Amino acid sequence: MYKIFLLSVLIVINNLSAFDESLLKPEKQEILQQKEAEIKASAKQLKYNWISPLSLSASTSKSNTQDDFGYNTSIQLNQDIFRSGGLGEALAYGDLKLAYDLIGLDQERTILYKQLFTVLFDLERLRLTKEQTEYKLKNSDIEVFLKKEQYKIGTIDITELNRALMDKNTILKTLLTTKTMLLEKEITLKKLTDISLAQIKTPHFSLLPKVLYLKNNLNLLKVKLENKLAKTSYDLTKSSYLPKLSVNGQYGYQDTKVSSYQNSNDDHDYHSVGLSLSMPLDYNTKASLQEKKANAIKSELEISDLEIDEIALYNTAIHQIRNYQDHSKVLEKNIVLYDELIDIGKKGFDSGYKSGYDIETLKNTKMIDVLEIKINDIYIQVEQAKLHFATNLNEETYEK
């Protein structure tokens, strides 16, 4: 079961190359690459740290009372070969820790991708908002002109003209704010990538099914790995208080020369091999095991708790998407109505009882709603992108 779970995690990690990392600035790419190298090196060290190193020693000696001297070289090893199952758990812990740390790294990577594509969506939305505001400004200019003419002939008082002017100032302020935000987003984009905006192709995000969202959710996979790590840590701790079998050996060469007048020399190889069985008796054994077991139980409960949170996040995104879709449907009906009114206005203009200002206002208002639908589509993309970036699955990784 452990191997199947770990394999599914590694498959998800492999899917994290869905987006081209070269989109990011070279410095950010290098940081991610070095972090990955560090994680893999650390995991390898952790996985095999139960293997004892060979101990090499060399010594020379000379007597103060006799003219004799010698030297001794040796290789020594003391290696555990059985830890009541602990060796297998140590290997499993290393694999789990590698997967856990890689998921953490990929969460960092997806944050950068999310920032990048969110900025791209914001830029497109702000461009549409700017265009939309310009149409509103055209309508405001028409309204101010008409109010001014009405004020001249005395059909309205200054209050209505003043209100129209204030509305126009509000629209102008919105236009200025939108332009400022566009500039800020362009600066933010340059902090994330060196590639020009025209060269970046923003992917289209479709709605991710809930079952895939939960199955491949990085937060859930990470907490599940954390639970596996906690259980493995408990097993490792338990095995450390059980009997273990070790093999120890030594191989060396000794050369001793006694005083010259005796003219004797003693040199020879020597070696030894042995087994040792040991078992620690620790007063804190029970407390240590209880601590590890409690941590494992806690992490098990955190899986269910986090799953509830992720389902709520998914449902919230779905609710937002439906709101935008419903709003767009209303706007589509308005556009149909505007087309009808424009046709009526054109006939009235041709007949001489409608002004061209009515038609221009309707056309501008229609374009405002057309652009609003496009803005809603971007908001929908943002919500769907949130779900994808929580899993980092793209369109090619699942069948619709």
Tens digits of per-residue pLDDT, 350-388? 777 667 888 999 999 999 999 999 999 999 999 999 999
Helix (H, G, I), strand (E, B) or coil at 277: strand
Q: How far is CA 72 from CA 127, 167, 248, 249, 262, in A?
A: 81, 97, 19, 16, 21
In angstroms, the CA 214 to CA 194 distance is 34
pLDDT of residue 399: 42
| Range 154-162 average pLDDT | 90
What is the pLDDT at residue 267? 63
**pLDDT value, residue 44:** 77
- On whether the CB atoms of residues 54 and 75 are closer than 8 A, the answer is yes
- Looking at per-residue confidence, does 219 or 91 come out higher? 219
Mean pLDDT of the 146-168 span: 92
Q: Residues 6 or more apart from 208 whose CB is under 8 A from it? A: 384, 387, 388, 391, 393, 398
In the prediction, which pLDDT does 167 show?
95
The most confident of 209-218, 237-246, 344-353, by mean pLDDT: 209-218
Q: What is the mean pLDDT of the chain?
A: 81
Please provide the size of the chain in residues: 400
Under 8 Å between Cβ of 398 and 214: no
Q: Quick one: which of 299, 302, 304 has its CA closest to 214? A: 304
- Residue 283: per-residue pLDDT: 57
Q: What is the pLDDT confidence band of residue 16, given thresholds at 50, 70 and 90? A: very low
| Cα end-to-end span (Å), the chain | 28
CA 4 to each of CA 58, 59, 73, 87, 221: distance values in angstroms, whole numbers, following the listed order: 49, 52, 48, 20, 13
Instruction: Let me know how many helices (H) and strands (E) the chain has, helices first.
Output: 8, 4
Residue range 95-117: mean pLDDT, rounded: 89
Structure tokens at 335: 């556009």
pLDDT at 17: 47
pLDDT in tens, 267-316: 667 666 766 665 666 656 667 778 777 878 888 888 999 999 999 999 99
Give the rounded percent of residues in the chain with a pLDDT score beyond 90: 40
Q: What is the pLDDT of residue 400?
A: 42
Query: Hey, what domains does the chain have and what are their CATH numbers?
Result: 2-49+83-139+183-243+279-397 (1.20.1600.10)
Q: What is the mean pLDDT of residues 11-37?
A: 71
Query: What is the pLDDT, as a whole number, of residue 73?
Result: 73
Whether residue 348 is predicted with pLDDT greater than 70 in this model: the reply is: yes
Q: For residue 302, what are its two tokens?
A: 């955190």
**325 with 380: CB under 8 angstroms?**
yes
| Cβ-contact 167, 143 below 8 angstroms | yes
